[in-house]
Amino acid sequence: MAKSRRITLIGAGNVGWHLARHLENAGHQLREIYSRNLKNARKLVNNLYDAYPTDSLDFSESDAQIFLLAVPDDAIPAIVNEIILPENAILAHTSGSKGLEVLSHLECSSGVFYPLQTFSKAKEVSFEDIPILVEGEDKATEKELIALAKSLSNEVQAVNSDQRRILHMAAVFACNFTNHLLSISKNILETEDLSFDLLKPLLLETIHKALELGPENAQTGPAARKDIATIKSHLSSLEESPELAQIYRLLTESIMERRII
Amino acid sequence: MAKSRRITLIGAGNVGWHLARHLENAGHQLREIYSRNLKNARKLVNNLYDAYPTDSLDFSESDAQIFLLAVPDDAIPAIVNEIILPENAILAHTSGSKGLEVLSHLECSSGVFYPLQTFSKAKEVSFEDIPILVEGEDKATEKELIALAKSLSNEVQAVNSDQRRILHMAAVFACNFTNHLLSISKNILETEDLSFDLLKPLLLETIHKALELGPENAQTGPAARKDIATIKSHLSSLEESPELAQIYRLLTESIMERRII
């Protein structure tokens, strides 16, 4: 069992919601729960043992040791400007796309505590398998944050800000763009009154194969087999949707590693 | 239990491999197993009860009722030119991207029997949940093929050639292109010595959310929240990979439904 820590959470959104409860389950003590909107902080506190809701960023009297900043990226600067921390505090943000430097002008030890998962309040997640990527401005801070992360997850890794930015970008390709391709696919099916559910078994098998064999060994389809006739037929079906045709052409060319037109 | 049919399979590749064994399990009788390479036909026959391997396309003496053509798209024309079928036979191809017309000059009842899944010999699949999309040149043929499909799967649907072409194209977006985005993502991670496994929980959750909520309700990421700073930072990380930058820009713009540059 890891050492119990006193933790204050800044932000009562999706990430904060799951973090707070899993931290408590792991034996840590939640102190203040901050939200700009006190109502949100109260809602989360109601699910916790002994935390305290607040809409003030003056934590000078807090006895928390670690402050986790779980707010949207664009809310970080305003909070960092206003926050008052007790001495010897560690402040770590939970953002995949922000570097350590967004906290660097504060008089505290700064770090990053980034759980690589998408959260929604309504859906329980098992934290054990979620990679938590940690960075500290110095070895002591990093060690402290790694210990905290390991109390939640079996997949803890120290990564620097460059690596984390690359990881976040890779996640945009693998997840955000993938989801958008599914939207496009669903729209295409709807033009012929076909259900997106028809693709479900194929999609799940595609993902499982990619994870099992590596995506580079699992590529199939007209581009992979250089089936120009099918590619041309698809492009002609997309004639009235130049944007989709452009996406089709670009990804096809990228798979084939050459220009088709 | 559906009526047992006598079936000949043309092609002993991945699709044929799974089809033959599941058809037999469903109570049908496999007759000839054709492969251009007799060795492949023999291998499949060894896994069947009473089938017969052949490398001849003269089936005039066959007592099979249904001939399933499970060969790569580009092998269809040569086979169609050469094949000799008995009277009253049904010939159905298993291709998602070819229309009924590729069989139309033959003196037989033609149809399509398209299982919407990706197959590999080494991996067992449960056929029950795989959509089988059926088309027949006339009602009687379609009825016969639907009955055959229903003996294998609970997800049988009659679709015409236009619908099937659209479905195939939608599958290219949802599966082939998605797999390619995973390859890109893995390559990006490797530049920073990061493992693709780190993205696994996020990817699986992304896919499950898309299937549960609909992808149009599950879009997240910098493009969805119009986070121009992050988008610009990613594009500058991709400066040395103009092809990836173009894919990033195009998909980002498509999510945002407007030009960013």
| Any A CB within 8 A of B250 CB | yes
CB-hemisphere CA count at 13 Å for A57?
Answer: 17
Reported as a single tens digit per residue, the pLDDT across A69-95 is 999 988 999 999 999 999 999 999 999
How many other C-beta atoms are found inside a 10 Å radius of the C-beta of residue A4? 13
Amino acid at A153: S
Tokens of A218: 């699992």
Main-chain dihedrals φ then ψ at residue A249, nearest 5 degrees: -65, -45
Instruction: Compute the nearest-CA separation of A253 from chain B (Å).
Output: 10
Nearest CA in chain B to A167: B189
Question: pLDDT-based confidence at A258, cuts 50/70/90?
Answer: low
Confidence (pLDDT) at A260: 57
Reported as a single tens digit per residue, the pLDDT across A113-168 is 999 998 877 778 889 999 999 999 999 999 999 999 999 999 999 999 899 999 99
A69 by DSSP, 3-state: which? Answer: strand
Q: Which of residues 216-235 of A touch B (CB under 8 A)?
A: 216, 218-225, 227, 229-230, 233-234
> Of the candidates B116, B171, B185, which has its C-beta nearest A173's C-beta?
B185
Do A228 and B189 form a contact (C-beta atoms < 8 A)?
Answer: no
Confidence (pLDDT) at A204: 95
A41 by DSSP, 3-state: which? Answer: helix
Partner-chain contact A254 B238, CB within 8 Å: no
Instruction: Compute the nearest-CA separation of A130 from chain B (Å).
Output: 6
Q: How far apart are CA B240 and CA B224, in angstroms?
A: 25
Partner-chain contact B97 A222, CB within 8 Å: yes
Instruction: Identify all chain B residues contacting A118, using CB atoms and an 8 Å cutoff.
Output: 202, 205-206, 209, 220
Angle, helices B242-256 vs B228-237, to 10°: value is 160
Instruction: Identify all chain B residues contacting A201, using CB atoms and an 8 Å cutoff.
Output: 116-117, 129-131
DSSP string, chain B: -PPP-EEEEE--SHHHHHHHHHHHHTT-EEEEEE-SSHHHHHHHHTTSSS-EEE---B-TT---SEEEE-S-GGGHHHHHHH-B--TT-EEEE--SS--GGGGTTSSSEEEEEEE-S---TTS---GGGS-EEEEESSHHHHHHHHHHHHTT-S-EEE--HHHHHHHHHHHIIIIIIHHHHHHHHHHHHHHTT--GGGGHHHHHHHHHHHHHH-GGG---STTTTT-HHHHHHHHHHTTT-HHHHHHHHHHHHHHHTS---
Higher pLDDT, A124 or A13: A13
Confidence (pLDDT) at B120: 78
Instruction: Compute the nearest-CA separation of A105 from chain B (Å).
Output: 20
Q: What is the pLDDT along chain B (261 residues), one digit of tens a residue?
A: 568 999 999 999 999 999 999 999 999 999 999 999 999 999 999 999 989 999 999 999 999 999 999 999 889 999 999 999 999 999 999 998 889 999 988 889 999 999 999 887 777 888 999 999 999 999 999 999 999 999 999 999 999 989 999 999 999 999 999 999 999 999 999 999 999 999 999 999 999 999 999 999 999 899 998 889 899 999 999 999 999 999 999 999 999 986 654
How many other C-beta atoms are found inside a 10 Å radius of the C-beta of residue B156? 19
Confidence (pLDDT) at B2: 64
Higher pLDDT, B130 or A257: B130
First-to-last C-alpha distance (Å) of chain A: 61
- Stretch A220-243: mean pLDDT: 92
∠ CA A143-A145-A148, rounded to 5°: 110
Instruction: Compute the nearest-CA separation of A209 from chain B (Å).
Output: 9
Instruction: Identify all chain A residues contacting B206, using CB atoms and an 8 Å cutoff.
Output: 118, 174-175, 178-179
Instruction: Identify all chain B residues contacting A157, using CB atoms and an 8 Å cutoff.
Output: 198
> Of the candidates A129, A222, A247, which has its C-beta nearest B254's C-beta?
A247
Give the DSSP H or E segment for A28. none
Nearest CA in chain B to A118: B202
Q: Which of residues 57-76 of A touch B (CB under 8 A)?
A: 72-74
| Any A CB within 8 A of B117 CB | yes
Reported as a single tens digit per residue, the pLDDT across A41-53 is 999 999 999 899 9
Instruction: Compute the nearest-CA separation of B28 from chain A (Å).
Output: 25
| Any A CB within 8 A of B182 CB | yes
| Any B CB within 8 A of A203 CB | yes
Confidence (pLDDT) at A259: 61
Partner-chain contact A179 B220, CB within 8 Å: yes
Partner-chain contact B170 A189, CB within 8 Å: yes
Do B201 and A130 form a contact (C-beta atoms < 8 A)?
Answer: yes
Angle, helices B178-191 vs A200-213, to 10°: value is 30
Q: How far apart are CA B68 and CA B16, in angstroms?
A: 9
First-to-last C-alpha distance (Å) of chain B: 61
Confidence (pLDDT) at A97: 86
Q: How far apart are CA B255 and CA B216, in angstroms?
A: 10
Confidence (pLDDT) at B4: 95
Give the single-character DSSP code of A176: I
Tokens of B185: 């993502």
Main-chain dihedrals φ then ψ at residue B115, nearest 5 degrees: -80, 120
Instruction: Identify all chain A residues contacting B124, using CB atoms and an 8 Å cutoff.
Output: none
